[in-house]
């Protein structure tokens, strides 16, 4: 008898015997009766969704409190809630696997697959190991959240403060001190991370996966191997654009800091790019700006001039969504969200969007800085919230995005519509301040320094984790493997030699926070695809980087149709709704930056590109 068959018979026998016992009947020999496996699967799923929905609410509430008030006690409560939720997820994933090989309706099969594939941190079934894993996860998160760089006992900088300085300082020594100082946060994480990897791998193996990385890559409606190939294919499409940008920015950095510091044929030292992780470079736009094409405005300045505080920034972002026809955010959003860094306690400042009750209780948590960069991040976060609300009527297991890249792409798609014309319509620029067409290269350069520069970073974070999870990289090699990938993909190097205790991946939120990262790479491809299609729908006939979908309700409706599907269908079907295509495709980002690429190639003539 096949496994599913055995399971079905066994379950029937048990069900019948216990139903009789419960009615006070005499125990009888279980009888074989035919029950449709489809109805067994359905009732299993109804109970599973019910249980998960309840536990998820408890978990999110505990996590919200923990991340807003990091203490020993809140860490412990969050870890407890996490271990309850994970134990249920793991048990249900094992049960779901018993339906393997049975012919079921597509949506039933999809829910079972979601149960099997979507545990981010699968614990071993053993209760002690589960509790240990949950505690490690909470502790790692807390270590990052509490992290500071102290110049002296009473002069400590938080990460947002350091990020602000790194954005504007052009003093290489100061930049290096911050770069190095922040990385003191992570060596103590390393033993915890090592243990976390080992426990979560054990959990993944018990569920039938080779390792946790394979499990993460299984959640994209294709085989894990095909997913890796797909990531590399997309990277191959954009690599020439990235290399052209890298070449130009490196040359300009060489002019600014001297070629002793920035060698013309070597990877760029990672502290000079305006961002703690060198993942976006828009903050050093003025170093690489095309001459005579400066857009002439700076969003950070415009926000200040027009009196935008944190609240007004969030309201501004909300207005974009409501202009597309989305309902305004509920009162509770405004009452319960965190917008500014509290002075009196430790919080996880890394921006996040929450859905506490699967219905209306959506919030963001963010230590907003009053900059143009953060204005985009607010749009990013609200994209999550509007997505969550759009799929709230789906059943529990479908209350998610089509794939995780979609979740990350929605708010960014909206932010691509934050164009000069949009800023004029909302009063942040006057008609005279709108840059003319000959300033397009400047606008494109600024955008590329954020979006194109991000791509290899978006790819390599999980390449590193996949190697770590598979055992290809041992704990002794964690840091060295990290820098190898940073050099290979980004062409960025550590500015000083790293000592053997260093654990630099731990200084990036998503590693101690255990958030998969491939999603952001996908989002950076998808958001340009969405933008291009939505702009076509809006009848845009100018250059795509000048297009804004602001105020277009018809376009909003189309977007909402995709969001409302949640995870109920394979992601290519969701993609097709907005783009008409079932393929992720980097030609949209290439089209967007085509004029810049031509210009970069000219600038790079005579330079030695690559590293
Ligand atoms: O973590 C985020 C969001 C929250 S989901 C702010 N992002 C990645 C990062 O900061 O590293 C957005 C882009 C990449
Ligand atoms: Zn996000």
Give pLDDT tens digits for 415-459: 999 999 999 999 999 999 999 999 999 999 999 999 999 999 999
Is 183 close to ligand 1, i.e. is its CB under 6 Å away? no
Residue 331 host element (H or E): helix 331-336
Domain locations in the chain as residue ranges: 3-119, 298-434
Residue nearest to atom 13 of ligand 1 (CA): 520
Of 32-46, 308-322, 378-392, 474-488, where does mean pLDDT reach its minimum?
A: 32-46
519 is in an annotated binding site: yes
66 is in an annotated binding site: no
- Which residue among the candidates 360, 510, 573, 576 is catalytic per the annotation? 510
pLDDT given at position 113: 97
Residue-wise pLDDT for 334-343, tens only, equals 999 999 999 9
Q: Which of 152, 142, 187, 147 is nearest to 163 (CA)?
A: 147
pLDDT given at position 28: 55
Compute the distance from residue 476 Cα to the ligand 2 centre, in Å: 31
Proximal ligand: closest to the CA of 405? 2
Residue nearest to atom 8 of ligand 1 (CA): 520
Is residue 32 pLDDT above 90, yes or no? no
Is residue 535 pLDDT above 80, yes or no? yes
Is 352 close to ligand 1, i.e. is its CB under 6 Å away? yes
Is 351 close to ligand 1, i.e. is its CB under 6 Å away? yes
The encoded tokens of residue 353 equal 């969007």
Q: Are 87 and 123 in contact (CB under 8 A)?
A: yes
29 is catalytic: no
Chain CA centroid to CA 323, Å: 25
Q: Which residues pair with 352 in a beta bridge?
A: 365
Q: How far apart are CA 526 and CA 324, in angstroms?
A: 19
Chain CA centroid to CA 71, Å: 26
Q: How confident is the model at residue 27 (pLDDT cuts 50, 70, 90)?
A: low
Q: How confident is the model at residue 26 (pLDDT cuts 50, 70, 90)?
A: low
Is 380 close to ligand 1, i.e. is its CB under 6 Å away? yes
Assign 534 to helix, strand or coil.
helix
380 is in an annotated binding site: yes
Residue-wise pLDDT for 104-161, tens only, equals 999 999 999 999 999 999 999 999 999 999 999 999 999 999 999 998 888 999 999 9
Scan for tokens 């309700």, then name that residue. 553
Among 159, 348, 380, 451, the mutation site with the greatest number of ligand 1 atoms within 8 A of its Cβ is 380
Compute the distance from residue 380 Cα to the ligand 2 centre, in Å: 6
3-state helix, strand and coil shares in percent for the chain, rounded to the nearest 5:
65, 5, 35
Q: How confident is the model at residue 6 (pLDDT cuts 50, 70, 90)?
A: very low
- Which residue among the candidates 246, 381, 524, 531 is catalytic per the annotation? 381
Q: How far apart are CA 251 and CA 490, in angstroms?
A: 15
Proximal ligand: closest to the CA of 365? 1
pLDDT given at position 35: 80
Q: Are 427 and 306 in contact (CB under 8 A)?
A: yes
Assign 100 to helix, strand or coil.
coil
Q: Is the pTM of this model over 0.85?
A: yes
Q: How far apart are CA 138 and CA 70, in angstroms?
A: 10
């Amino acid at each position: 008898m096949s496994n599913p068959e055995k399971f079905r018979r066994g379950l029937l026998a048990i069900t019948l015997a216990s139903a009789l016992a419960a009615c006070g009947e005499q125990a009888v020999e279980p009888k074989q009766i035919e029950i449709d496996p489809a109805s067994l699967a359905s009732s299993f799923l109804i109970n599973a969704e019910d249980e998960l929905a309840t536990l998820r609410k408890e978990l999110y509430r505990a996590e919200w409190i923990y991340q807003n008030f990091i203490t020993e006690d809140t860490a412990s409560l969050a870890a407890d809630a996490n271990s309850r939720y994970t134990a249920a997820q793991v048990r249900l994933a094992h049960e779901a696997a018993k339906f393997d090989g049975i012919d079921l309706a597509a949506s039933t099969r999809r829910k079972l697959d979601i149960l099997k594939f979507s545990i981010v941190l699968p614990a071993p079934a053993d209760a002690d190991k589960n509790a240990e894993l949950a505690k490690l996860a909470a502790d790692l998160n807390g270590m990052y959240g509490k992290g500071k760089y102290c110049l002296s006992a009473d002069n400590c900088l938080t990460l947002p403060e350091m990020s602000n300085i790194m954005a504007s300082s052009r003093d290489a020594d100061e930049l290096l001190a911050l770069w190095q100082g922040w990385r003191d946060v992570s060596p103590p994480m390393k033993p915890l991370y090592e243990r976390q990897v080992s426990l979560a791998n054990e959990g993944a193996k018990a569920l039938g996966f080779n390792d946790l990385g394979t499990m993460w890559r299984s959640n994209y409606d294709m085989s894990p191997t095909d997913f890796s190939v797909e990531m590399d294919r997309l990277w191959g499409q954009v690599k020439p654009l990235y290399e052209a940008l890298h070449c130009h920015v490196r040359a300009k950095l060489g002019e600014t800091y001297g070629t002793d510091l920035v060698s013309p044929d070597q990877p760029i030292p990672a502290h000079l790019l305006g961002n703690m992780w060198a993942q976006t470079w828009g903050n050093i736009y003025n170093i690489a700006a095309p001459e005579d094409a400066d857009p002439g405005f700076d969003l950070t300045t415009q926000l200040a001039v027009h009196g935008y505080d944190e609240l007004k920034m969030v309201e501004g972002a909300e207005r974009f969504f409501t202009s597309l026809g989305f309902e305004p955010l509920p009162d509770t959003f405004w009452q319960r969200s965190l917008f500014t860094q509290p002075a009196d306690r430790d919080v996880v400042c890394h921006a996040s969007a929450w859905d506490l009750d699967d219905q209306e209780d959506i919030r963001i948590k963010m230590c907003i800085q009053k900059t143009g960069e953060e204005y985009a991040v607010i749009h990013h976060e609200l994209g999550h919230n509007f997505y969550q609300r759009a799929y709230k009527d789906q059943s529990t297991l479908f209350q998610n995005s089509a794939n995780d890249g979609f979740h990350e792409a929605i708010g960014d798609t909206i932010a691509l519509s934050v164009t000069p014309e949009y800023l004029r319509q909302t009063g942040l620029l006057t008609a005279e301040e709108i840059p003319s067409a000959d300033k397009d290269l400047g606008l494109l350069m600024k955008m590329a320094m954020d979006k194109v520069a991000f791509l290899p970073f978006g790819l390599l974070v999980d390449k590193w984790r996949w190697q770590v999870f598979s055992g290809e990289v041992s704990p002794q090699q964690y840091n060295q493997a990290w820098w190898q990938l940073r050099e290979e993909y980004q062409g960025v190097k550590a500015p000083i030699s790293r000592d053997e205790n260093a654990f630099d991946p731990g200084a990036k939120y998503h590693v101690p926070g255990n958030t998969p990262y491939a999603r952001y790479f996908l989002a950076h491809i998808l958001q340009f695809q969405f933008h291009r299609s939505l702009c076509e729908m809006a009848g845009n006939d100018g250059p795509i980087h000048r297009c804004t979908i602001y105020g277009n309700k018809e376009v909003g409706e189309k977007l909402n149709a995709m969001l409302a599907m949640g995870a109920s269908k394979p992601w290519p079907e969701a993609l097709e709704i907005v783009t008409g295509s079932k393929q992720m495709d980097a030609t949209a980002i290439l089209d967007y930056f085509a004029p810049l690429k031509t210009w970069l190639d000219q600038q790079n003539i005579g330079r030695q590109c690559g590293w």
